[in-house]
């Protein structure tokens, strides 16, 4: 029998389709453990090719090395084909009945390491911590410019997940408008706060720790769960145990634990279903430098988190039509496998 489950914060329902139930091996590429690596031609993100990207805006690099030259470990460059271009956002305008704005914003690429073949999960824990620290620094710097209401960090790994270059990288897009999904989560969390009398994410985390069956990892600072209403097989969510609306607020010692947590879960994902393409997205509070009139109390109600989901099923007509999802792997099963490996 299938089940319908509701994601409390977003209000989205998912169908856990047991008739279509699948095991991890069903998602492995056929013919063995490893997916065939994509052919690597010329790569503008590899060390030595710094001249082939727009000039770097930030880098962790060895003493005495010049910008846009070898010697870096993490490097940030503007996207060569930006979705949005830097600039002061003009006020919203209209075109007939429609609402319109000039497409101003920021679009940067964080090149996570020099070696094309080393994925985020292959890096050392201190190196992953460095990548996370660079994420924090870039987000803070962009937020300081005050033009942008939200800074979206995300990672596309693998062609099926939307990566056009295979060299490990993440992306940062700042928008002059608060994204629809973030707004939904903020308002959903506010509604739940009124009934729970506490942050909904904190409450859900406590429930998940007590239930245990969807818990993938828990350490001093973070918990990773297979969400109750997972949209996708082997979806994971990383939450800080300490209530906080902003990833940029993660302290130095917490950052090292986060790096360790990410290394664990990404390695487990790889071991469980064979290095799948995946997306990772950060959800946190809008730009704290701006005051949002009429919005709920985000500091109290909202709780930053990372969503990580391998791309194993297709989003199709049903999902587009309804905004609901069909997931053939119950999160309890996913958590069991992601814990075991």
107-126 binders of its own copies (CB under 8 A): none
Strand ranges in 202-277 using DSSP code E only, listed in sequence order: 215-218, 222-225, 236-240
- Residue 83 sits in the site that holds its own copies (CB under 8 A): yes
What whole-number distance in Å separates Cα of residue 339 and Cα of residue 149?
37
- Residue 95 sits in the site that holds its own copies (CB under 8 A): yes
The gap between the terminal CA atoms of the chain, to the nearest Å, is 28
Least distance to its own copies, CB of residue 91, Å? 12
Restricted to residues 164-183, the positions that interact with its own copies (CB under 8 A) are 171, 173, 175-177, 179-182
- Residue 315 sits in the site that holds its own copies (CB under 8 A): yes
Restricted to residues 45-64, the positions that interact with its own copies (CB under 8 A) are none
200: nearest Cα among 34, 14, 7, 338: 7
Query: Is the CB of 257 or the CB of 335 nearer to its own copies?
Result: 335
Reported as type and span, the H/E element at residue 333 is helix 331-340
What are the beta bridge partners of residue 76? 58, 110
Least distance to its own copies, CB of residue 302, Å? 15
Contacting residue, 58, 187, 295, 324, with its own copies by CB under 8 A: 324
What are the beta bridge partners of residue 278? 157, 310
Q: Is 169 a catalytic residue?
A: yes
Length of the chain: 341
- Residue 88 sits in the site that holds its own copies (CB under 8 A): no
What whole-number distance in Å separates Cα of residue 84 and Cα of residue 177?
12
Restricted to residues 62-81, the positions that interact with its own copies (CB under 8 A) are 81
Among 127, 169, 283, 305, the one annotated catalytic: 169
- Residue 187 sits in the site that holds its own copies (CB under 8 A): no
CA angle 178, 184, 186 (to 5 degrees): 80
Least distance to its own copies, CB of residue 28, Å? 18
Residue 186 in contact with residue 301, Cβ under 8 Å? yes
- Residue 209 sits in the site that holds its own copies (CB under 8 A): no
Residue 341 in contact with residue 268, Cβ under 8 Å? yes
Segment near its own copies (CB under 8 A); pick from 38-46, 52-60, 82-90, 251-259: 82-90
- What residues are labeled active site? 169
């Amino acid at each position: 029998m299938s089940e319908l489950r509701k994601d409390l914060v977003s209000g989205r329902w998912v169908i856990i389709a047991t008739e279509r139930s699948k095991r991890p091996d069903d998602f492995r590429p056929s013919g063995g453990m490893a997916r065939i690596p994509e052919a690597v031609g010329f790569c503008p993100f590899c060390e030595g090719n710094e001249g082939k990207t727009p000039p770097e805006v930030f880098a962790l690099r060895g003493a005495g090395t010049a910008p846009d030259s070898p010697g870096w470990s993490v490097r940030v460059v503007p996207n060569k084909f930006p979705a949005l271009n830097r600039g002061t956002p003009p006020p919203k305008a209209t075109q007939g009945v429609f609402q319109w704005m000039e497409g101003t914003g920021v679009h940067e690429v964080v090149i996570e390491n020099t070696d094309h073949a080393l994925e985020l999960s292959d890096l050392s824990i201190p190196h992953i911590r460095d990548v996370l620290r660079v994420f924090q620094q870039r987000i803070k710097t962009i937020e300081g410019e005050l033009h942008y209401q939200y800074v979206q960090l995300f990672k596309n790994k693998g062609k099926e997940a939307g990566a056009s270059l295979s060299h490990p990288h993440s992306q940062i897009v700042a928008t002059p408008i608060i994204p629809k999904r973030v707004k939904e989560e903020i308002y959903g969390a506010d509604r739940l706060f009124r009934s729970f009398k506490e942050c909904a994410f904190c409450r859900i985390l406590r429930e998940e720790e007590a239930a245990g069956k969807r818990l993938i990892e828990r350490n001093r600072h973070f918990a990773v769960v297979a969400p109750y209403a997972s949209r996708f097989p082997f979806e994971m969510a990383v939450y800080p145990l300490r209530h906080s609306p902003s990833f940029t607020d993660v302290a130095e010692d917490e950052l090292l634990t986060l790096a360790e947590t990410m290394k664990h879960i990404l390695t487990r994902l790889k071991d469980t279903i064979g290095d799948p393409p995946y997306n990772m997205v950060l959800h946190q509070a809008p730009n704290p430098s701006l005051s949002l009139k009429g919005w709920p109390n985000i500091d109290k109600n909202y709780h930053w988190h990372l969503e990580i989901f391998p791309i194993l099923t297709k989003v199709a007509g049903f999902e587009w039509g309804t905004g609901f999802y069909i997931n053939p792997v119950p999160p309890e099963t996913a958590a069991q496998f992601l814990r075991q490996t």
